[in-house]
């Protein structure tokens, strides 16, 4: 814990932490030591972690990196973090993220952008760590914690993991409780860990997962010992290679990375099978209807009355408007407007309802694959390596949304997905591969992921 607190101090330039909690960290570490001495350390005894600022932490400021939450200090703890503390982990502080987890570059946070510790060879240009869990990814990659919590609505665990050369797991929808996690799009949101190795990711997942009656979509299923999946033979497993993921303009190095990863799995005894996920091309447009629709509903609660910021006005409506205009950043306002539009009476059938139908088709594509005996699907995690801060999405938000092309399908279908570091591009930047699994079969992803990492 002390070594990590020192490293955090020395790396503040990365802007990975929005709040350091050294006193709590030392107290928790001492308590953990005492328990370890009695042989009761727990599976995470004394392990220092960073917590994405989307998880409510009792008596510790939680903002979702939005001005509108201001200095909100929750009087309760999220289920996921409570389970980590139950198992002996130590909190080092709260990690930066895109405002309300909306973004793919960690550039929309009210605390400013996060810097990726990686740089292109021979260049001093600062790169994004990906988003929205950019603080989590950057902190893990730079050694500012041993692991971190993150959330993934459309790729926010897997894309930053790929951009920073670490491992990130989005568990099956319902695996981890959403209780006490600031909501973005409730039918897509899922918490998960980022860490430096597949094994560490498996260990953290076990503590974070589990049934919680406080989340109505949490699933009552036993949590396996995920670590036992590491090193398990993958012989005879069928790995689907979806032809629709070979998108136009895919860089040759991503194509090669994908082929090399497939060959590694084949060398370990797995069988490669070309599969088809025909509705893939509709996933991104459908996601950018469903996610903003749910966001516009979830964000209605930030009205200047119940939480954080309040900007006075002449009357109540004026106060709402002033608070929301000043409290939400540009990307969040865009999402609220899109969401409100697609849910409005005249457009609901044309947009929201249609997107929901497309979502069902996307899910069906995966189910068809798994019904044919496919154990997991291998794809690139991202269409490129990390890009420069300010380089993408300025004038055209869709340029930024295209980053999520390989990851959003997984959320739409509620499946588990893992990103593992698999190589480097010509400029020395990390690139990741993604494995998509059957529902509640995170174990297979850990077994396969460990072969590739
Ligand atoms: N980049 C996607 C978005 O902006 C996904 C974000 C996330 O997974 N939280 O919506």
104 tagged catalytic: no
- Is the pLDDT reported for residue 393 higher than 90? no
- Is the pLDDT reported for residue 40 higher than 90? yes
Q: What is the model's pLDDT at position 122?
A: 96
Q: What is the model's pLDDT at position 395?
A: 83
Q: Which helix (H) or strand (E) holds 215?
A: none
Q: What is the model's pLDDT at position 55?
A: 98
Q: Quick one: pLDDT band at residue 307, thresholds 50, 70, 90?
A: confident
Q: What is the model's pLDDT at position 357?
A: 98
Q: Could you give the percent of the chain with pLDDT greater than 90?
A: 96
For ligand 1, atom 10: residue with the closest CA: 102
Please state which CATH class domain 1-453 belongs to. alpha beta
Q: What is the mean pLDDT of residues 302-306?
A: 93
109 tagged catalytic: no
Question: What is the rounded average pLDDT for all residues in the chain?
Answer: 97
The answer to whether 439 and 445 have CB atoms below 8 angstroms apart is: no
- Is the pLDDT reported for residue 82 higher than 90? yes
Question: Per residue in 255-270, pLDDT tens?
Answer: 999 999 999 999 999 9
CA distances from 351 to 288, 289, 402, 447 (A): 10, 7, 19, 39
CA distances from 289 to 41, 182, 347, 348, 350 (A): 45, 20, 11, 10, 11
Burial of residue 34 (number of CB atoms within 10 Å: 0-12, 13-18, 19+): exposed
Q: What is the mean pLDDT of residues 414-438?
A: 98
Annotated active-site residue in 156, 177, 218, 447 = 156
Q: Which residues line ligand 1 (CB under 6 A)?
A: 101-104, 132, 152-156, 184, 291, 404
d(CA 209, CA 206): 6
For ligand 1, atom 5: residue with the closest CA: 154
Regarding an ipTM greater than 0.90, the answer is yes
- Is the pLDDT reported for residue 394 higher than 90? no
Q: Quick one: pLDDT band at residue 293, thresholds 50, 70, 90?
A: very high
- Is the pLDDT reported for residue 73 higher than 90? yes
- Is the pLDDT reported for residue 227 higher than 90? yes
């Amino acid at each position: 814990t002390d070594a990590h607190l020192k490293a955090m101090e020395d790396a503040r330039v990365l802007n990975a932490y929005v709040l350091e909690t050294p006193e709590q960290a030392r107290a928790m570490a001492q308590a953990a030591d005492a328990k370890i001495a009695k042989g009761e350390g727990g599976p995470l005894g004394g392990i220092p972690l960073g917590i994405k600022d989307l998880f409510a932490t009792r008596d510790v400021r939680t903002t979702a990196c939005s001005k509108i939450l201001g200095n909100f200090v929750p009087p309760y703890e999220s289920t996921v973090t409570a389970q980590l503390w139950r198992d002996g982990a130590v909190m080092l502080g709260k990690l930066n993220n895109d405002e309300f987890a909306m973004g793919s570059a960690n550039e929309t946070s009210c605390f400013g952008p996060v810097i990726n510790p990686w740089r292109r060879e021979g260049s001093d240009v600062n790169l994004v760590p990906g988003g929205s869990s950019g603080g989590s990814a950057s902190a893990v990659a730079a050694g500012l914690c041993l692991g971190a919590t993150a959330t993934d609505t459309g790729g926010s665990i897997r894309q930053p993991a790929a951009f920073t050369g670490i491992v990130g797991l989005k568990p099956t929808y319902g695996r981890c409780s959403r209780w006490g996690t600031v909501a973005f799009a409730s039918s897509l949101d899922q918490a998960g860990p980022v860490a430096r190795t597949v094994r560490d990711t498996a260990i953290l997942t076990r503590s974070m997962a589990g049934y919680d009656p406080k989340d109505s979509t949490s699933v009552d299923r036993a949590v396996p010992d995920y670590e036992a999946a590491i090193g398990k033979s993958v012989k005879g497993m069928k790995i689907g290679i979806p032809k629709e993921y070979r998108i136009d303009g895919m860089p040759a190095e991503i194509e090669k990375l994908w082929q090399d990863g497939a060959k590694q799995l084949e060398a370990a005894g797995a069988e490669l099978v070309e599969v088809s996920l025909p509705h893939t091309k509709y996933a991104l447009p459908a996601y950018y209807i469903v996610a903003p629709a749910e966001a516009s509903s979830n964000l209605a609660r930030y009205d200047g009355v119940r939480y954080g910021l309040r900007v006075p006005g002449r009357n109540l409506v004026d106060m709402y408007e002033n608070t929301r205009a000043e409290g939400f950043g540009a990307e969040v306002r865009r999402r609220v407007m899109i969401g409100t539009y697609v849910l409005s009476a005249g457009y609901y059938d044309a947009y929201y309802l249609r997107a929901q139908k497309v979502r069902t088709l996307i899910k069906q594509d995966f189910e068809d694959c798994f019904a044919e005996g496919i154990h997991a699907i291998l794809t690139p995690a991202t269409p490129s390596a990390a890009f420069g801060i300010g380089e993408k999405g300025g004038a055209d938000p869709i340029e930024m949304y295209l980053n999520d092309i390989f990851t959003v399908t997984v959320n739409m279908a509620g499946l588990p997905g893992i990103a593992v570091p698999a190589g480097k591009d010509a400029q020395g930047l990390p690139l990741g591969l993604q494995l998509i699994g059957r529902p509640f079969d995170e174990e297979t992803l850990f077994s396969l992921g460990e072969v590739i990492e």
